Amino acid sequence: MNTLIIVLTVIVAVLLICIVLVQKSKGGGLSSQFGNASSLMGVRQTNSFLEKTTWTLAALIGILSIISVYTMPKVSAETELRTETTAPAPAMPTGDQFGSEAPAAPATPAAETPAPVAPAAE
* Residue 57, in any domain of the structure: yes
Q: Dump pLDDT digits (tens) for 50-105.
A: 889 999 999 999 999 999 999 988 877 776 666 666 656 666 655 555 655 555 66
* Residue 55, in any domain of the structure: yes
Conformation bin of residue 84: beta by default, left when phi > 0, alpha when psi is -120 to 50: alpha
The residue range of the domain holding 49 is 41-70
* Residue 65, in any domain of the structure: yes
3-state DSSP helix/strand/coil percent for the chain, to nearest 5?
A: 55, 0, 45
- pTM score of the predicted model: 0.49
| Residue 87 vs residues 81, 83, 90: alpha-carbon distances, Å | 10, 6, 9
Q: Dump pLDDT digits (tens) for 7-48.
A: 999 999 999 999 988 887 665 555 555 555 544 555 556 678
Contact, 1 vs 64, CB < 8 A?
A: no
- Domain count along the chain: 1
* Residue 63, in any domain of the structure: yes
* Residue 51, in any domain of the structure: yes
* Residue 52, in any domain of the structure: yes
